[in-house]
Amino acid sequence: MADDVSRPVTISFIAESAGVSVPTVSKVINGRSGVAAGTRARVEELITRYGYRKTAPAQRSDVLELVFEQLEHQWSIEIIRGVQRVVRGNGLGLVLTEFGPDRSTIRYWIDDTLARRPACVVSVAQLSSGERDQLRARGIPFVVLDPIVELPDDVPFVGATNWSGGRAATRHLIQLGHHRIAMIAGPGHLFDLARLDGYRSALRSAGIEVRDDLIVTTPLTQEHGQVAALQLLNRPDRPTAVFTCNDLQAIGVYQTARALGLRIPGDLSVVGFDDVPIAAMIDPPLTTVHQPLTEMAAAATELALALGRGETPAQPGIELATTLTVRSSTAAPAA
């Protein structure tokens, strides 16, 4: 009976399949408490399996939920602005949640915050498949912004063309005449890998050997960039240029270069990634790959709202183009 999917998927069908009452299923769908964890999981699993959707959504508060893993100084504001622009245009409010470093508030968010029944969710935080199921069970559409892991095909997302960005940054250095180009890579998020592969691809296209000893993998902070740069620049055949996986790492490279008495760009060219506001403020202003965070956030919000209206977007996953912003940290290598 539970496998007879030709039958319309109603709330009673789910209840029957799960062996629970209709009010229990209703509680799960509406994010109410008073359902045992095992029962809740079973009901959610069935809702996901049979694709049950509420045809007449319960009254939702007129808000969109924006969820961050952690609010970061250098780029969260761009995202908030992009989302705000669109929700404002749609007469919605913006509810902001930060899970925090230990994701301690996830349970709170899933159990309590979603009881607000937002029109939709834009998540900069990575949602586990269980968390995505819980949102689906509540009929709340969501879009993942700038995914850091591979997502199943049915998860709508908006990202940036990280591979192309990495390629453009590296090609810029090659065109200036650099051959010994190092990369400080990221710890393995999806976008880190794409940027690194873009670097490799540009080298290969130019007939330059990709040398593993010129690639250092490290977290995306200034401090780690500083240490990685020391490893790269403290060698006899030091690279004449460094491409970093983000701008904070590039600032770390600046510090190490100064400590070693190397001038930028005279002795060392540096290209970052992201184009956070600080990139234009440091000395010399940083050449970097611009990631259109505000536009990405606006696009993710538009997509989430479209899903909330029951529309089926032509493209449930898109990447917006990055562009190289050339400032003063890159030049031809010293003769």
Chain residues in the site for a second copy (CB under 8 A):
61-63, 71-74, 76-77, 80-81, 84, 88, 91, 93-98, 105, 108, 112-113, 116, 222, 251, 254-255, 258, 276-278, 281-283
Closest distance between a second copy and the C-beta of residue 84, in Å?
5
Closest distance between a second copy and the C-beta of residue 177, in Å?
26
| Smaller CB separation from a second copy, 22 or 63 | 63
| Smaller CB separation from a second copy, 115 or 208 | 115
Closest distance between a second copy and the C-beta of residue 300, in Å?
16
| Smaller CB separation from a second copy, 75 or 163 | 75
Closest distance between a second copy and the C-beta of residue 154, in Å?
28
| Smaller CB separation from a second copy, 158 or 279 | 279
What are the residues whose beta carbons fall under 8 Å from the beta carbon of 222, sequence distance 6 or more?
Answer: 248, 249, 251, 252, 255
- Provide the Cα torsion 322, 327, 328, 329; round to 10°: -10
Using an 8 Å Cβ cutoff, are 137 and 9 in contact? no
Closest distance between a second copy and the C-beta of residue 89, in Å?
10
68: which strand partners? 98
| Smaller CB separation from a second copy, 17 or 76 | 76
Q: Rg of the chain's alpha carbons, rounded to an integer? A: 24
CA distance 237 to 14: 67
Closest distance between a second copy and the C-beta of residue 287, in Å?
17
- For 116, half-sphere exposure in the C-beta direction (CA atoms, 13 angstrom radius) is 19
| Smaller CB separation from a second copy, 48 or 222 | 222
| Smaller CB separation from a second copy, 196 or 242 | 242
The first and second tokens of residue 78, run together, are 């761009």
Using an 8 Å Cβ cutoff, are 124 and 68 in contact? yes
Closest distance between a second copy and the C-beta of residue 230, in Å?
16
Closest distance between a second copy and the C-beta of residue 24, in Å?
24
Q: Which of 31, 39, 51 is nearest to 15 (CA)?
A: 39
CA distance 133 to 242: 42
| Smaller CB separation from a second copy, 43 or 119 | 119
The first and second tokens of residue 302, run together, are 């538009």
Closest distance between a second copy and the C-beta of residue 25, in Å?
24
- Residue whose token pair is 């029109």: 119
C-beta atoms surrounding 300 within 10 Å: 30
Helices first, then strands: H and E counts in the chain = 11, 12
Q: How far is CA 163 from CA 89, 134, 173, in A?
A: 32, 32, 16
Using an 8 Å Cβ cutoff, are 162 and 329 in contact? no
Q: How far is CA 171 from CA 1, 222, 324, in A?
A: 60, 24, 10
CA distance 214 to 238: 9
| Smaller CB separation from a second copy, 62 or 311 | 62
